[in-house]
Structure 1
Amino acid sequence: MAWLEVSWEGRDGRRSRVGLCSLAALGLLVLAVLTYLPPLLVAYRSHGFWLKRSSYVEQPSIRFRHEVLLLGLLRGGGGGDFVGWSSFPACNRLLGARLRVPLVSAREEDINQDGIMDLLNFWLELPLQSSEEMVGIQLLLTFTYQLQRMSTFVMQSMAFLQSSSPVPGSRVFVSGDLKLHQRQPLSHAGLDNRYNLSVINGTSPFAQDYDLVNIVAAYQERNVTTVFAGPGPIWSVGRAPSEPFVIQAIIRYPVELIVYQPGFWEMIKFAWIQYVAILLIFLWIFERIKIFIFRNQVLTTVPVPPVSPVLSYKEHQS
């Protein structure tokens, strides 16, 4: 008859065994099922067993593409009188008499000297005629945005600044962060360049391709975008007729919390930790139950006689 050794009874070295085709063996099987299966059910039913989303911190690598689209609303224009400028020759040709060529300065800074740019200082001086007064602006700047700690994610993004004032101004100042906005998590590995497309079709001869409504609407169809976030713009008044209208923008590139889809092994690791944490409790409880059952012969077992040291030595010599 085949035997199965079932347990050590404490520290006294006594062991027990049961037949493979016995009620005690069936009891051992039931105890094993009750030990290992319920922790799995408890971990699964408590939610969060499978890690569907995770996150990490990374400062993105952002570079200004020197692509600018500017519209300025003039006082008394009623939405129709405006001036503008862009870095795209085709758009400037469409502006015609409303074109104003500005003086532009853009400087990116790496404050902590880690090889990643931290902010953009943007300065624009827009010349106006003596009779023109600025009461509103719409400014669009484009960037190259890259993440590479987990997956390599590359896209072309934008910052859109819009502001107006009831009083004609001489200068507007804005300061804020270029923040990442996700509607879905990124992948945990590989290359993702699905949004590495131009925000503005700078070669198009058609006016609708430079309409800010169309540009922003198409951009917002993406699942991953950037938005300019910060306090409201500050307007300064008192522009002399010969002075240009000044736009000053400080755009910071902050450290981001990136949401991503975990890989298979990360999901298994997270689930295994939860399962083992609950399993240890069940192992302790059912080990005590098993000792009680077999020590008190609730299920019949056969003691294993201790092996004599002398006999063991002779058997070894033979």
Structure 2
Amino acid sequence: MKAVFYDKYGAPDVLQIKEVPKPGHADDQVLVKVHAASVNYGNLVLLKGEPFLARFAFGLLKPKYSIPGGDIAGRVEAVGANVKQFQPGDEVFGDLSGSGWGGFAEYVSVPEHALAPKPANLSFEEAAAIPMAGTTALQSLRDKGKLCPGQKVLIYGASGGVGTFAVQIAKVLGAEVTAVCSTRNIDIARSIGADHVIDYKIEDFANRTEKYDLILGANGKQPISVYKRALTPKGVFVHVGGSGSQMFQAMVMGPFISKTDGKKFGTFLQRANQKDLFLLKDYLETGKVKPVIDKRYTLAEVSEAFRYFADGHAQGKVVIAI
């Protein structure tokens, strides 16, 4: 089968398309013929080996996982003897970040708990855009942010993969949502349900006096002090993406602020979770949430897809057609 392969950390140019053996499947695994995958921030971490601390999980000197790719959508080709939830022919989507990655390939074998039935109303490419970004948005708002109905939520970086899902899921959870994005993304933010939109190209967010119960930092470079001023007395800031300096401040200064102030600061990394995939499936099939796809690439164009994504200006998700 064809797969994206790499054996050293670096820029997108280290990615190669190779012929590799088609995987078998164990008794507790599902063999999936992959129709589409998508690019996430986690894929960049695996590619570059940055931040350096990530190498302790993904390989200190060289990549532990030679085939990247966390999000997939495809059709079940075979199942192991112990698999109960799926059978050959089923259309599925899944998050492989907790089970060895490998989604940028024509086939992959994964535990059944990494998969869920594909939303019936979506194409494979649309479904592949969902798992990691969707669960990141859901878990960061619901679990880390403790979002409650009626709260005011601000999504900084609302037009990217996580941001577009966060705006919609925050609305599903009953929040009043303010989206922060650039001028060219205002229409996208409004189309997915944002109650208010701030154009950071025109207005300096640091000068605003509005207070928010929850701020989700999905992208951007604002210092923690700016977010602190924008929170209500018991407000919560959750960092899921953005500049390295912003992440460092959230990790180092966040715990101190949280102990000395009623406001809470923290960082968040999503965890693959089948129940959350089923919940997202329900949101998508009932029209409460929809994926926003910016560009589509072929497997042969994967390096170009990574370069575009790494620029940080994708409007929604970048999808790879396998």
Structure having the higher strand fraction is 1
TM-score between both structures, scaled by the size of structure 2:
0.18
Structure having the higher helix fraction is 2
Q: Which has the larger radius of gyration?
A: 1
The structure, 1 or 2, with the larger RCO (C-alpha pairs under 8 Å, 6+ apart) is 1
TM-score between both structures, scaled by the size of structure 1:
0.18
